[in-house]
Structure 1
Amino acid sequence: MSKSLLVISRQAPWSGPGAREALDIALAGGAFDLPIGLLFLDDGVFQLSSAQQPATLQQKDLSANLQALPMFGVEALYVSQRSLAERGLQDQPSSLAVERLDDSSISALIDRYDQVITL
C-alpha cells in the first residue's frame, strides 16, 4: 500500500522555485496514484490568488499547474485560514476549490499523513 504524502507549500509564486517545486511534487505523486494532499501555508496562499500577473515580474504562470492538480488526482487541497487573514486575502476568491483550515485542524491534518514535505 502506498504511503500518503502531504506537500506544504509556503512560498509565494514569485519568491523562487519553491512554489513550482511543491506543485511538481504534488503532480508527480498524483500521476503515480499516491494518496496526496497539498496545503498552502504562509506566503504560499498567494498562489491561490486569481489576480496574479507573473509576466510583470518575468516569472512563469503557475495557474495551469494549479488547475491540473485535480486532473492528476490531487483533490485534497487545503489552505490556512490564518495565513489568508494575515495577508488580507480571506475575502478574495481563490483560483482553486480549497478547504480552509484553522491551526488545530492543520495539526490534525499533518498527523493524518505518513510523509510530509515542506517547501
Structure 2
Amino acid sequence: MSKSLLIISRQAPWSGPSAREALDIALAGGAFDLPVGMLFLDDGVFQLSGAQQPASLQQKDLSANLQALPMFGVEALYVSQRSLEERGLHQSSSSLAVELLNDTALTALIDRYDQVITL
C-alpha cells in the first residue's frame, strides 16, 4: 500500500521556486497514484488568488498547474483559515475548491498523513 503524502506549500508564487516545486511534487505524486494532499499555509495562500499577474514580476503563471491538480488525482486541497485572515484574503477568492481548516483541524490533518513535505 502506498504511503500518503501531504505537501505544505508556504511560499508565495512570486517569492522563488518553492511554490512551483511544491506543485510539481504534488502532480508527480498524483501521476503515480499516490494519495497526495496539499495544504496552503502562510504566504502559500497567495497561490490560490485568481487575480495574479506573474508576468509583471517576470515569473511563470502557476494557475495552470493548480488547475491540473484534480486531473492528476490530487483532490485533497486544504487552506489555513488563519493564514487567509492574516493576509486579508477569503476562501471565496480561491481559484480552486479548497477545504478551510482552523488550527486544530490543521494539526489533525498533518497527523493523518504518513509523510509531510514543507516547501
Scaled to the shorter chain, the TM-score interval is over 0.9
Matched with 2:17 is 17
Matched with 1:103 is 103
Matched with 1:48 is 48
Deviation string 1:20-64 (CA, Å, 9 cap, x unpaired) is 000000000000000000000000000000000000101000000
Name the SS for the 1:19 alignment partner. helix
What TM-score do the two structures reach when normalised by structure 1? 0.98
Gaps of 5+ in 1: none
Gap change, CA 1:72 and 1:86, over 3 Å in 2: same
Residue 90 of structure 1, CA deviation: 2.1
Gaps of 5+ in 2: none
Paired residue total: 119
- Whether the 8 Å CA contact 1:49–1:92 is kept in 2: the answer is no
Residue 93 of structure 1, CA deviation: 1.2
Question: 2: distance between equivalents of 1:104 and 1:90?
Answer: 19
After TM superposition, the structure 1 = structure 2 runs for residues 60-79 of structure 1, keeping only pairs within 5 Å, are: 60-79=60-79
Displacement over 6 Å in runs of 4+: none
Does residue 29 of structure 1 match 2:32?
A: no
Matched with 2:116 is 116
Question: 2: distance between equivalents of 1:24 and 1:90?
Answer: 25
What TM-score do the two structures reach when normalised by structure 2? 0.98
Gap change, CA 1:29 and 1:15, over 3 Å in 2: same
Task: Report the RMSD for the aligned CA atoms in angstroms.
Answer: 0.8
The residue type paired with residue 68 of structure 1 is A
Identity %: 86
Name the SS for the 1:52 alignment partner. coil
